[in-house]
Amino acid sequence: MRTYAGHSTPAESNALYRRNLAKGQTGLSVAFDLPTQTGYDADAELAAGEVGKVGVPIAHRGDLARLFEGIPLAEMNTSMTINATAMWLLALYQVVAEEQGADPARLAGTTQNDIIKEYLSRGTYAFPPGPSLRLTTDTIAYTVGAMPKWNPINICSYHLQEAGAEPVQEIAYALSTAITVLDAVRDSGQVPPERFDRVVGRISFFVNAGVRFVEELCKMRAFTRLWDEITRERYGVTDEAARRFRYGVQVNSLGLTEAQPENNVARIVLEMLAVTLSKDARARAVQLPAWNEALGLPRPWDQQWSLRLQQVLAFESDLLEYGDLFDGSHVVEAKVDELVDAAKAEMSRIEQMGGIVPAVESGYLKAQLVSAHAERRARIEAGEQIVVGVNRFQETEPNPLTADLEAAIQTVDPAVEQAAAEAIRKWRAERDETAVGLALKRLREDAANPDVNLMPASLDCAKAGVTTGEWAAALREVFGEFRAPTGVAAAAVGAQVSPELAALREQVREVGEKRGRRPRMLVGKPGLDGHSNGAEQIAVRARDAGFEVVYQGIRLTPAQIAAAAVAEDVDVVGLSVLSGSHLRIVPDVLRLLAEAGAADLPVVVGGIIPEADADVLLRQGVKAVFTPRDYDLTAILGKVLSLVA
């Protein structure tokens, strides 16, 4: 039982962890901030506005030591949601544990280390897919020998569902990723054939559980059946324990609503039941979001509520006392068979493309997810898919939980970023630069040799005091950088056009005729926030409404967005910010547009933005602010068009 936590500083996060452990939490699940996840230090240009927002910033071994101060790592099971920089954070973790006196062979926990889904959903990749797969492979090969209790990879389908994946896609893409990783480890020659079952046995999964209870329960049974088949037939694993589908789950955050957020508690409980009721496909670890995550950063009390939900189920109910309740159910078996057959067909299609990496690089997978998400949005807007409190049953009594919204969520002090930047400059000034230079030199040389495992060089860097940004920059020099396909251009949505969209198309056509060209919209994703679902859906709907759309993908600086807006001669700029960095990033875009002579260009913003912050942005010159409460994309674009017209 654990909650996903971390914010602001290592010291504040340490205090939060110790409180959670005292309340009965049985492990730690560490959330890192976006600079740490993507390989930047707190004083990097792209880190502006993102430090400490969605997790804890970790720049070097000193930060990680402070994060776990007073927490004996030899006795702890620690899950780290880290992917592009997973090898680096694991190296820091090992060094800090050794400083505590722990034997690395005793360390237990998980590095997520699933880079594939980063190109499809969260966007926290740092290097191209090929070199990233090498980092994953090297980490797995290292831990099999040196850290046998560690789960070196956690194939994560959670974010695939967040990006729009239907159950068949979630199963197929996750298992195709696992196959690619296992093939890479096997083919690397770093693990002897007789020990390969240890690799299979240490792979775990992190799965999403949505609100469609029966479908989600059957999805987990399908996952279990397919994984047993793949590991037995493709890899020849005879040990049943090694073939077990071991998974943890975070229940769905995509379905959490800003409108009537108290309804989220019922959703969370129902989703938790979907991954616990079926004993033969039961999650080994569950972490629950907080009821108010659609509003902002949850407080410790909100996280406690989610922890108590699990404890009531485990210790008050009799759920864990019986065998599988669904064995022999014709309904469940038929649905599982349907999911298995469809997932196999999609996995075969991916294999014909050459595997998961070519399927990512070609843009096929991203386009499939964007299309699926667009169809889901269309069903909600049409009322075909009911979301209580959003598109039906909107009448509500005043909510005492959100009466004081500023007190209903936690905020990160803007001074955190400045303090982190100053601290990292102080760290650099006080370390042994000769040792740092030698460690980075070895890292670059080893990276240039595909036959060398990069974990030993990373451990040298950790001990020498290298920073996260320096480690990643050294590898970028060798591996290069990558911009993932957006999936927008190739996204296909249903042929049926709603009356509202048809009316908007006519309005767009009329505005275009008056102006002598179609209205042109730039959709921008500033900063390191890689959750691009909202931006992609706006871009697809704007395209389908007749706008010309400029969308360059994620991870742009305010200067790049302002320059693109001027160069493309757009009529409106739409910024999507979900990481809480809006008050830092959006004013920068406004200022740079004004300096470029485009002060009158209307700017609108969408994201998880508290009402008080929205008022600030509007006073600064933003023309409109949209939040998850504004679920109707066609209506949003109608308001955007009025600004252009």
Sheet holding 247-251, edge to edge: 153-156, 203-209, 247-251, 285-287
Distance CA 153, CA 475 (A): 20
Which of 167, 75, 172, 62 minimizes the C-alpha distance to 116? 172
Distance CA 155, CA 173 (A): 10
Distances 188 to 136, 141, 196, 480 between C-alpha atoms, Å:
12, 9, 12, 22
Whether 87 contacts 39, CB under 8 Å? no
Distance CA 138, CA 451 (A): 10
Distance CA 455, CA 188 (A): 15
Residue 392 has a CB neighbour count (10 Å cut-off) of: 9
Give the CA dihedral 451, 456, 460, 466, nearest 10 degrees.
70
In degrees and rounded to multiples of 5, residue 211 shows phi and psi of -85, -10
Q: Where are the alpha helices (DSSP H) in 353-432?
A: 356-361, 364-382, 405-408, 415-430
Distance of CA 51 to the CA centre of its chain: 16
Beta strand residue intervals within 496-642, DSSP E: 520-524, 548-551, 572-577, 603-607, 624-626
Sheet holding 572-577, edge to edge: 548-551, 520-524, 572-577, 603-607, 624-626
Work out whether the CA dihedral 217, 218, 219, 225 comes out positive or negative: positive
Residues with catalytic annotation?
Answer: 4, 158-159, 525, 529, 531
Distance CA 601, CA 616 (A): 18
Work out whether the CA dihedral 175, 177, 180, 184 comes out positive or negative: negative
Distance CA 159, CA 357 (A): 17
Which of 384, 366, 363, 364 minimizes the C-alpha distance to 375? 384
The two tokens of residue 559 are: 């200067």
